[in-house]
Structure formats: C-alpha cells, structure tokens
Structure 1
Amino acid sequence: MKSRQQSMVCLALTLCINAFSAYAQQVDITAQQGPYYVGRPTTLQVTAQGFAEDPQPTCQPGQSSAVSLELVGVSPQVSVFTQVDFSGRQTVQKQITYKFTYQATARRTGSHIIPAFTVKQDKKVAKTRSVELRFEEIEIDPNMRVALTLPKWPVYPGQRVPITVEWWHGGTADEIQASFEHLVIYSSFFDQFSFIDDPPKRGDQALSLSTQKGRIRIKAEVSKRVLDGREYLVVSGTRKLVVTEEGTYDLPPITASTKIVTKWRRTFFGREPLGYKMLRAVGEPQTLLVRQIPVDDAPPSFAGAVGHGFSIETKTDRSVIQIGDPITLIVTIRGHGNLDQAGLPSVSTPTTNEKNRFDPQHFRLSSEDAAGVVSQDGTSKQFSLTLRVMNESVSQIPPIAYSWFEPQQQRFEVVHSDPIAIQVLPTQMVGAQDVIHADPLDKPAFQPTNPPIRAIASHQNPNPLITTGADLSIETNTILLLHNESDRYGGKTTLFILYTTSIGLIFLAWLWRRHTDMDPQLVIRRKIFRQQLACIHRAKHLPNQSAATEIADALRLMAGHITGEQRVELDQVVAACDVVAYRPTIDKHEHIDPDLYHRAINIAQHMVATT
C-alpha cells in the first residue's frame, strides 16, 4: 500500500514538472560570430519556446538610436517526443520552437546595447536579455570604388528609369577574385523603391546586391576602364526604377564591403584561411527629384502613359458590314514606358482644337472600359472595343488620338492611328408581303392501282416537292433488297477501323487545341519552376555555403508567383539559407542541412505540381 502511494506521488510530480516545462515560456537571443562592422548587416536570432502553435507569436525589438533592426524571417519548428514515467505510462509531448531572424546594422562605431526583444502570444509575454555588440569601422580599400548612377534630369510618377550600379577594382587578378567573392553592395535606395530586374541566365555574369529582404542577383557586364591613369576592372549592372510618388529624395552613399584573407594555415588538403580583414568603398550621396505630371495641361487623349516612342495601330475584324452590325475594333499601343499602367482614352473624346470624329449619330460605342492585355515581351498593349455603324454614309473608321508624357522633353506628345476604310450596306427589311405562301392543289382522282412512275413524272405539278400519290417502291429485286449493305467495302472490319481512326483524330485535335489555348505565361512559369527545382536538387552535393546560396537564389526566382502560407514558408527557408551563406566561419566540406534542404525541395515540388 505504501509503495503504491509513493508511485502515485511520483506520477503527480512528473506530470507537474512536464506541465510546467510545457507551458513555461523561454526566449533567448544569439548573435553571429564577430567581429561586427558599421554598415554591414549582423544576423541576430531570437529563439522562443513554450508558446502554442496557433496563433503565431509576434516578436517586437527594442528601440536603439545607433542600430537599426529588420525582421527577415520567422521559422517555426515542431518536435514530438515521448516520456515514460515510473509506472510505465507513456506521455506524448509536442514542443514548438520559433526562431525570429533579424539583421542589425550599426550607424556608427563603438559598443552599442541592443535592447531586449519581447515575444507575445495572447496573454503570454516573454523578454530576451539585452545584447551588447562592439562595431568597428571598416578600412577604406584604395583599390576599390563603387558608384550608383541616377538620371540627372527630373523623373515623373509612372516612369521606368534605368539606374546603374558599378563596382570598380584596380588590384591584381587574385585580389579582384578574392574581393568579388565576398562582395556586399548595399544602399537604402534598394529598399525605398521598387525595381524591375533582369535576372541573369546560366553563364551570365551577375552582380550581387544586399537588401533588407535578402540578396538579389542582377545581370551584369564586365569591362575595363582607365581613371586617372590607372586601369580598373568594372562590373556594372542595370535595374529599372519604378517611380510612384513625387518628392525630393536625399539618398545616402552606396557602400561596397568585402573581406580579404590576412592569415593562412596549412592542412592536409592544402591551405585554408585563418584570418580576415574587412575593407570597404563608399560612393557619393545622391538626390532623386520626382516631379508631378502637369495633368492640367494634358490633352484629352492622355490616359496615363509615360515614356517615349509610343505609337497606335487599329484594325477591325471585317470591312463590309450592314447598318447596326457590331464590329470588333482592336487597338494596339506600342512604346517604351509604363504599358502595364497605361490605359486607353475614350475614342469619342475630341482632341484639342479638333471636332469629334466619332459622331454619335454615325457611331455607337460600347460603354464598358476596354481592358488591355500587355504582350509577353512587354513592348505592346492591346485593347478590344465593340463598335456599331449607324449611318450608311460612313466610309471609314476615323483615326484615334493617343497621347503620352515625354519625361526628357517634359511635354506631352500626340500620335494618331490611320483611318480604316469600310463599306456600310443598308439593312434589309422583310415585310409580310415578302412571305411566300404555298398554292392550293387539287386532289388527284382516285385510282384503283398505283400509276407508273412515268405518269407521275409527266403530271403538271406546280410544286415539284409534292410527292402525293407517288409510288416509292422503286426496287422490286428481292435478292438485292435482302443483301446486307454492311458487307460492302470490307465489312465490319473496315467500319471499325474508320470509326477508331475518326475518334483518334478527334482526340488528337482536342489535345492540340488544349496546347494552343494554354497561356504562354503559364508555360514559361512552369519551365522556370522546373529549372529552379533542378538547381535545388544539384545543390545537395555542393558545399554548405554554396548550396545555401543556390537554394536561396532559386527560391527567390519562384517567390513572385505564390502568396499566402506557402510564401511565408518560402521566405523562412530563404532567410535560413541567407544565415548559412553569410556565416563567417564554415566547414567547406560540410553539406547543407538535410532538414533545410528537404523544406526547400517540398516547397519547389509543390509549386511545380500546382502550376
């Protein structure tokens, strides 16, 4: 009896300890291995345990005037384990660990205290300890230069502006290779605006840029230039800036930082780096002036197009019509600018000092706004309108005016389409007098026997389709009438082949129609997803840092096509890969973490399967 009571007490204590460990909230913070430098992002990770799986807790960083903090990813991990108490009873527990990854960027040198982070979930609140990090100034590299080239003239909302990022190095080939391998180019300009980038293809030179959302790679060109009598190797890449709001933007200098090896050690496999030295280059501060489009001076045919080289072309589905028949008028706009945002002005709106050419007495237009479709190469946009001609005197579809704003010339330009010749026929009206009535026929006299066919044929019948009294029993040969027609031309075998072939041709025609009707964008997207999935598969056999970089680049190319929970999971995997890729010290012979690799593979396979 006493031993039984002791067992019950032990069981109760075990349950209490397990319950306390399951519901106690524990948070901690770790920083990547130093040293830490001003202007270079430092990875911080907040680990939280003891929180429920749903809803996801939030993490709020403390305020610091010397260090900026940016959340780059949240990664929940679920662990299930089993415990056995003294009585042999099994208890299954689930432990959820949340990892919040931040990037800390110091604005000045010195020791800075990063205040505690607060993790909340409903009424559960837990705080981390504060962290003190010492940030050092990075030495200026006399061999390295960096530049951000913006337009010297004002830009306007809706404009697509090319900007250039250049990295210069005047050292030896080995110094250039070592610096480029660890190069980090950053500007707050990359996070403040939106861009359209041309991703590099296999075999293209790429330039890596650092943003708050992670690294991006843009297509680049390599050239040699001479400055002040010294030859430099220049790697330059171009991005398209999407201007949205007016204002004057003062941009801090762009920076480029890298690290070079200062100490080596010999191993069985050769040499490996033992010490690094950070170097940097600083560009010039920039000012971007965004002016408002003078819409008060815009012509009536302006519909938001900004750029240069626009043209308009019209065509119809037919040229000979009757009054009131609907015509499909296809309007194609071509040019270099914001075609995705450009609309079609009302074709019935008169241009300045010009009479309305689409007279309502002659034309009737659909009241719905035409929805345009941008072409695959992004150089044209097509609109479809329904038009009815209401007057026989109309001989052509009038020209349509189209206006756009030219940023460099700072004025509006107007272009007109060519007229389209048509022929309008009068509408044919059918009256009651045009209806043909059948004439009454005299009933034929009764005849006891069927008359011969010759007699019927010679009968003067005003309507040749009347067969009253005709003898339709033409064939009297019994053997011929009893013959099975299906035995002709090969019989049932031939019929089976013909039917099977016809069904097969119909099926092939359906497959071809389905292939031709498929959206070209969907075909390209599927091809890109399969290519990136193959890249992730190949990354499994690469070293840890290279594999993490390949996986992160592949997932970023796929990220623009998904939303919701799948996008959250993808961002978490990319953030985890960036942490691995930026880790200062790493074993080059170590492969990627299997759990991280399988998470990336599952996301990519799901996107391929659902596209």
Structure 2
Amino acid sequence: MSFSSGCRSLARRGHVPQVGLPTAERRAVRGTERRMLGALAVPRRSLLASFLVLAVGTLSAAPASAATAELSAEGEQIHAGLPFVLALTAKGFEEEPPPAPPELVIAGAETTYLGVSPNVSTRIEIVNGRRSDWREVTFVYRWRVLAASPGQYDIPPLAVEQNDVAAVTQAAKFTAQELATSTDMRLSLKLPERPVWPGETFDVTIEWLLRRDVEQFDFAVPLFDLEAVQVAPGPGGGRTFPFPTRSGTVQLPATQDQVTDGGETFTRLAFPARITVSQPGALDVGPVRVAARVQVGTTRDAFGFRRARTQLALAEGKRQRLVVRALPETARPPTFVNAIGTGYAIDVSASRTVVGAGEPIELTIRIGGDGAMDGLSLPNLHDAGLPAEQFTVLEPPDVGQVDASTKTFDATVRVMAEGVGEIPAIAFSWFDPVAGEYRTAWSRPVALSVGAGEVVGVTDVATSAPAAAPAASPNPSAPAPRPRVTTGADMTLSDPAHTLTPVWSSTAIAVALALLYALPLLILGSRFWAEGTGGARLHRREVATALARVEQALAASGAAREGAPAATNAMRTLARLTGHGDERPDELARLETEAFDPVAGRQPINRATADGVRAVAERWAGKATAAAVLVVVASVAGLAPEPSAWGARSSALAELPTRPLGRASARGLPSLEEPSAWGARSSALAELPTR
C-alpha cells in the first residue's frame, strides 16, 4: 500500500452538468464555476454518476448590465451522505454595502452557510481612440449541503437584494444517488470513552483502514459540523490533509502504519484532531464517511500503457453519542473562572519590592498549563488572596498574552498600609476533567519593604490659604508630629507620561541650532572643495600612474632592447603631463642608445642609466605634485586656474627646488618640498592664470 499514491489528490477540478440548458448559458455557468474555484476553501469532489439540474434565471429579460444570480455546484456528482458545495453567484451589484446572504432551506437536507467571497474586476478598452471602462462586482455565496438519503431534492428560488436592485434564481433540482460500500475500506471515529466537560479540549482520531490503493478521497465528519464544536489539528507532523468544518477548513496531520483487523492486514491512516465543546448536553454524532476511488485492477489506455482501474466506493463508521456534562456547582471555589485541564501553575512577580505606603506596584502573573489558553481568564485578585485592607487594585488584569502553553497577565496594585511585609500567595483554580473535581494552585509570596507614607488627594494640598503654623506643644519633651508625606498621591492633571518630562535648556537649544545650520554649510563646503580640486587631484593620479610605469619598465629584468622602448614611452607620457615635453635630457638619450646597441641591447638596462632616468622622472613628478598641491590650496581660496592653464602652471613651476623622491615616488607617492622652496614657489605661482 503506497501512502503517497493513496493520498495524492484530495480534490480535482470538474465541470457542473447543466442538463437542459442552451449552449451559451451552459458555457456561462461553467465559466462562473471556474472563477469561483480560486476562492473556495472547501475541497472539490470528483465522484461518479450523479447530475445537478439547475434552472438559472433572473427577474426579467434585462440588459447585460442588470443584476443577475446564478446557481452552480462545485463537483461533478452528488451522493447521499456526502456533502457538496452549492454556490450562488450574484453580479450587477455595487461593492458597498454587500448584499445579505439569502436563507437556503432544502427539505430533507442539511445546509451550512460557509460565507461570501466578493470579487471586483476592471477592464479598460481603447478602440479607435475611444476609451471604455468596464467594472464588474461579483459576490459568491457558498453553502455546504448534505443530502441525508438518495432521491431528488428541490432548491427554492433565492433572492439577492441591495437597495433597489434585486436578482432571483429560478427553482432548481438535484438528485443524490446512493453509493455502494466497499469491503476494502473500514472507517471509524475514536472518541473518549468517558463523558467530557464544557471547555475541555480532548483528542479524537479518524482511522481509515485500507486494503487497496485509493485515489480522490473525500471525508464527511458530522462532528466537525456541530455549532458548539471547535476543531484544531492534533499532534503530529508531516503531510496534512484538509477536512471541512463548520467554521472553515482545518489541516489535519496524517500518520501511516500496518495493523491487523479480523485476521486481515490493512494499511491504517490516522488523522488526529483536538476537539473543544462549549455547551453541555448529549451530542448525537452521525457516522463519519469517506468516498474514494478504490483500485480494483488494471487496464490499458488508448496508447497501450497499463494503468490502474478504479471504482468509486463508500466507507462509513458508526453513529455515536458524546455526553458533555455540566460542571458541578458544588465545591466550586471562588477563584475558578473557566480553566479546564489536568494541571496548571501560577507565578507572580513584582516590578519593585521596596516601596512607600501609597505607591503603585506592577504585577506580572503567569499561568501555565495543558488546557486551552486563548480564552483563559484570571479571578478577582481580592478573591484570589490579595487583602483589600492592604492593597487596592488600580488596574485589573488585562486580557493577557499567550505564548505556547503560558499566558501572561499584567495588573497594577497600590500598597495602602505601612508595615505590609509581602504580597501574599495568589490562588488560581481549574477543573480537572479526568478526576472530575476542582483543583487550586497558589503562587509564592513576594516579600515587600513598605516605608512610612500617607496617601492624600488634591483637596488636601490645594488650599486657598497656607496652613497655620502648628501650636507650641505644652510638653516640650513630647515628640514632634510627623510631617505629612504625599508619596504616592495622584495630584497631576496631565498625562503621567509627560508630567516629569524636562524641557530643553538654552544651551541645548543653541547647540541644536548650531548643528542645524552647520550641517548644510559643511555639505556645501565639501561640494565646493570637490568641484574646485577635481582637476588637480585627477592630474596627480595621472602623474603618479606615469611615474609607476617608468619605474616598472626600468626595473624589468629582460633585455634592454625590450625594456628601454617601454621606459622611453613612459617618460614621454610623464613629460607631457608635467609640462616637460620639449626637454631632451641626456639620460633619456643614453637610454635610447642602449636600446639600439647590438651588444648592450642583449643585456638588462645599465644601472647607472636607469638611475639617471629615474632621477629625471622623479624631478618632473615632484614639481608636478607640488603644483597640484598649490592648486588645491588656491582652489580653496578661490584662485584655482582654468584647466587650460595646466601647461603654463607646470612650466612656471619648473624651477621650484624639490627633494628627490625615492623608490616610493615610483609607486605614485608625492614628495614634500623643502621649506626654503616656498618663496620660489609663491613667485612662480604669481604667473599662473587665475579664474
């Protein structure tokens, strides 16, 4: 038995048979069904041999823009005992307010309203330069319908109304056929063997025994459709499957194993769920059903390939009775609210433990247990053990926040008396459904240190005249009266969050204003500096790159006939950048001669020649670097030259004394001039064209 092949599909798309309708109307109904499938929350059904005949109509023969209402069934076949989804599609209405759902009553069948899915679609068409806007609002109402027995059922006309616009469907019929049972499937619903209690969360399991592979199965669980029942997934992981419930669809996990029943081996699929019943009483739980295609053999398709041959069959469990007892009234503690479970614990902590009389204390109350936490509530704190003569509850516990199996509440209390030594234990009660009795847990006491204080109000201190001085005591040795302490008094008329908020000082305001004005000036200055020194910085990078190429060519270990031409070209580039293009130094001439010498050309470049060329390159680059630095300074002062003046600037600075660069200059690092050179540099700068 393959679990993946047996559970590969829970629902498949199908068409709604529209017997007796014209071709155009049949296409319209099928198109409406396809649009409804995208928002459907209930699995589709793909069963065998049943027809739904729906006579669809409107109020009158109105134009295309009039309101219309159409009925369709989401599924191909309808069988007794298995629910299907009936959809009503209403068009031609406004988006707001949504029309109220019509009441659907089908004699002999159970109907459950699932909800409405609004949809708004727009379209713009431009034909021959003319624009047309099209907007359509669609409301899709859905019901789950369960036919109790085989036979024909009548659907009454359904009216959809919105203000003065209305649309009505014509009466329709559908036939529910009986489905044969299969001995290859067995189905059961495992309920607790004891009575349960309102609010108790208990486990149920749907067990499906299979002897053959199945396809396209659909479940109907009447317990999940009861009004007072809440369904949640049970423990387990892995693959999940959707099950329809009254409030929607729930995904239940599935487990698979092998079991023996009546001497036969079956593959068992178990779907656990957690159920909570909110009302007491005896529940008549109908039999759980499943319809599936069971593999009964093999056949060959039109191409000759072998495929499984299946037959639609039904399996159903037994009708059961679930008793939900009312909670006992006797021995119910005052600290019980609505907690149901087998075990709970309570913990109380305080925001501070050293306070004065009249000061508030924030309490954090945590409840942990195995029961449902979403609707859990705390009892009255005074009933739970907080003495009313010592504590006042300023803010009762809030609704709380759930985190896994713990719920946290916040409350604020005020100590009213001096000498209170602790926050006493707080009680929390719950009902144990297994033991059938109430149980109570207590928190640990929280130690307090409460100093002297007196709680006063505004009327005690806001007087029109100052209080008279106390009269002299007739007994000088008597102790002086204790001054009135206003600790904890609520005498503010503003929001507590803003009562003690300090204002800004004048120094802080001045600093803030200075930063507010300095920031844009700093941004503007950096922008001017970048614009003014862009050309100089670019020139420095080009000179450094050319100098590095000269050093690389001179340091090459190859023959002079190969390295000398590269060094010569690099020197020419450097001369052009530094304004020495017309110079022909002797060192460069010796380098060219060495490159064409038949004997010396086979050897590396002579070291003396290389050092001479390197010294010339460093001298040129050093002067160009100094010129770039001066241009940067001049640009900051507003004296930056035009880009066309670079040649004249380099020539004017040709006579500036520099300190020779070392090997570092070949890597693009500029040198620093001697301080004595500043006078000559300034004189040379006087000849620079300025902007």
Deviation at 1:189, TM superposition (A): 1.7
Alignment partner, residue 549 of structure 1: none
Alignment of 1:273-422 (within 5 A): 277-295=311-329, 297-349=331-383, 358=387, 360=389, 363-388=390-415, 390-392=417-419, 394-422=420-448
Instruction: Report Cα offsets for 1:343-401 as digits up to 9, x if no partner.
Output: 22233337xxxxx77361xx222243211523421334344332416222x43332222
Q: Which residue of 1 aligns with 2:149?
A: 108
Separation (CA, whole Å) in 2 of partners of 1:213 and 1:342: 21
Q: Does the Cα contact within 8 Å between 1:397 and 1:420 map onto a contact in 2?
A: yes
Query: More displaced, 245-254 or 287-296?
Result: 287-296
**TM-score normalised according to structure 2 size:** 0.50
Which residue matches 1:220? 254
CA gap of 1:383–1:91, structure 2 versus 1, over 3 A, is: closer
> What's the offset of the Cα at 1:59?
5.8
Q: Tell me if 1:168 matches 2:209.
A: yes
| In structure 1, distance between residues paired with 2:118 and 2:71 | 14
Specify the alignment match of 2:196 in structure 1: 155
- What pairs up with 1:85-96 in 2 under 5 angstroms? none
Correspondence for 1:64: 106
Distance 1:222 1:68 in 2: 33
What's the counterpart of residue 168 of structure 2? 127
Partner of 1:554: none
What SS class does the counterpart of residue 326 from structure 2 fall into? Answer: coil
Change (3 A) 1:146 1:425: same
Per the alignment, residue 191 of structure 1 pairs with 225
TM-score computed with the length of structure 1 as normaliser: 0.56
CA drift of 1:269 comes to 10
Q: Aligned partners of 1:199, 1:163: CA distance in 2, in Å?
A: 8
Give the C-alpha shift of residue 291 in structure 1. 2.3
Code of the aligned partner of 1:388: V
The CA distance in 2 between the partners of 1:29 and 1:357, in whole Å, is 62
**Cα displacement (A) at 1:334:** 1.6
What whole-Å deviation, never above 9, does each CA across 1:422-479 have from its counterpart, x for those lacking one?
Answer: 33444599x9999xxxxxxxxxxxxxxxxxxxxxxxxxxxxxxxxxxxxxxxxxxxxx
Does the residue aligned with 2:343 lie in a helix, a strand or coil? strand
Q: What's the secondary structure of 2:367's corresponding residue? A: strand
Looking at both structures, which has the greater relative contact order when contacts are Cα pairs under 8 Å and sequence separation is at least 6? 1
Partner of 1:232: 266
Aligned 1:446-525 pairs, distance under 5 A: none
Contact 1:323 1:390 in 2 (8 A): yes
Q: Deviations over 1:516-568 (max 9, x none)?
A: xxxxxxxxxxxxxxxxxxxxxxxxxxxxxxxxxxxxxxxxxxxxxxxxxxxxx
Equivalent pair of 2:234/2:273 in contact (CA under 8 Å) = no
CA distance in structure 1 between the partners assigned to 2:181 and 2:94 by the alignment: 48
**Counterpart residue number, 1:586:** none
CA distance in 1, matches of 2:172, 2:428: 61
Task: Answer yes or no: is the 8 Å Cα contact 2:125–2:132 preserved in 1.
Answer: yes
2:367 is matched by which residue type in structure 1? I
- Of stretches 56-65 and 327-336 in structure 1, the one that deviates more from structure 2 is 56-65
Q: CA 1:100–1:399 in structure 2 vs 1: closer, same or farther (change >3 Å)?
A: closer
Distance in 2 of aligned mates of 1:158 and 1:209:
22
> How much has 1:190 moved relative to structure 2?
0.9
In the TM superposition, residue 129 of structure 1 has moved relative to its aligned partner by 3.6
CA offset digits 1:107-140 (Å, max 9, x no partner):
2112334333334344444433433333221111
Instruction: Report if the CA contact (8 A) 1:186-1:211 is conserved.
Output: no
Give the letter for the 1:293 counterpart: L
The structural deviation recorded for 1:82 is 6.5
Distance 1:383 1:308, change over 3 A: farther
- In the other structure, the counterpart of 1:469 is none
Q: Would you say the 8 A contact 2:357–2:454 is kept in 1? A: no
- 1-side partners of 2:349 and 2:87: how far apart? 61
> Higher strand proportion, which one?
1
Distance 1:92 1:388, change over 3 A: closer
For the residues of structure 2 that align with 1:199 and 1:410, how far apart are their CA atoms?
Answer: 23
| Structure 1 stretches lacking a partner, 5+ long | 1-18, 351-355, 435-495, 497-611
Q: Which amino acid aligns with 2:418?
A: N
* Aligned residue type for 2:182: D
Instruction: Choose which of 150, 173, 184 in structure 2 pairs with 1:143.
Output: 184
Any conservation in 2 of the 1:200–1:206 contact (CA below 8 Å)? no
Question: How many angstroms apart in 2 are the aligned matches of 1:147 and 1:190?
Answer: 14
What amino acid is aligned across from residue 423 of structure 1 in structure 2?
S
Alpha-carbon distance in structure 2 between the residues aligned to 1:303 and 1:49 = 49
Name the CA distance, whole Å, in 1 between partners of 2:379 and 2:258.
48
Q: Secondary structure of the equivalent of 1:218?
A: strand
Matched, 1:37 2:79: yes
Distance in 2 between residues matched to 1:338 and 1:345, nearest whole Å: 16
In 2, Cα distance between equivalents of 1:325 and 1:96 = 60
Q: Decide whether the 8 Å contact of 1:194 with 1:242 is kept in 2.
A: yes
Letter in 2 for 1:195: Q
Q: Tell me which of 117, 136, 156 is aligned to 2:158.
A: 117
Partner residue in 1 for 2:631: none
Q: Which amino acid aligns with 1:405?
A: F
The RMSD of aligned alpha carbons is: 4.0
Q: Would you say how many aligned residue pairs link Structure 1 and Structure 2?
A: 398
- Higher radius of gyration, 1 or 2: 2
Counterpart CA distance in 2 for 1:39 and 1:164 is 20
- CA offsets per residue over residues 290-320 of structure 1, 9 Å max, x none? 2222345312222322212112222223334
Which AA in structure 2 matches 1:197? A
Report if aligned partners of 1:335, 1:380 keep a CA contact under 8 Å in 2. Answer: no
Q: Deviations over 1:69-102 (max 9, x none)?
A: 44544454546576999xx998766555555455
Letter of the aligned partner of 2:181 in structure 1? I
- Secondary structure in structure 2 of the residue aligned to 1:312: strand
1:242 aligns to what SS in structure 2? strand
Q: Give distance in 2, aligned partners of 1:61 and 1:76.
A: 21
Rounded Cα–Cα distance in structure 2 between residues aligned with 1:288 and 1:82: 61
Instruction: Give the distance between the partners of 2:180 and 2:270, measured in 1 at CA.
Output: 23
CA distance in 2, matches of 1:90, 1:348: 72
| SS of residue paired to 2:342 | strand
CA distance in 2, matches of 1:359, 1:46: 60
**What is the identity, as a one-letter code, of the residue corresponding to 1:406?**
D
Residues 387 and 428 of structure 1: is their aligned pair in 2 closer, same or farther, counting only changes over 3 Å? closer
**Distance of aligned partners of 1:316 and 1:60 in 2 relative to their CA distance in 1, 3 Å threshold:** closer
1:243 corresponds to:
277
For the structure 1 residues 380 and 26, does the alpha-carbon distance in structure 2 shift closer, same or farther, using more than 3 Å as the test?
closer
Q: Secondary structure at the match of 2:254?
A: strand
Structure 2 spans left out of the alignment, 5+ residues:
1-60, 456-468, 471-479, 482-521, 523-691
- Structure 1 residue 30: Cα displacement: 4.1
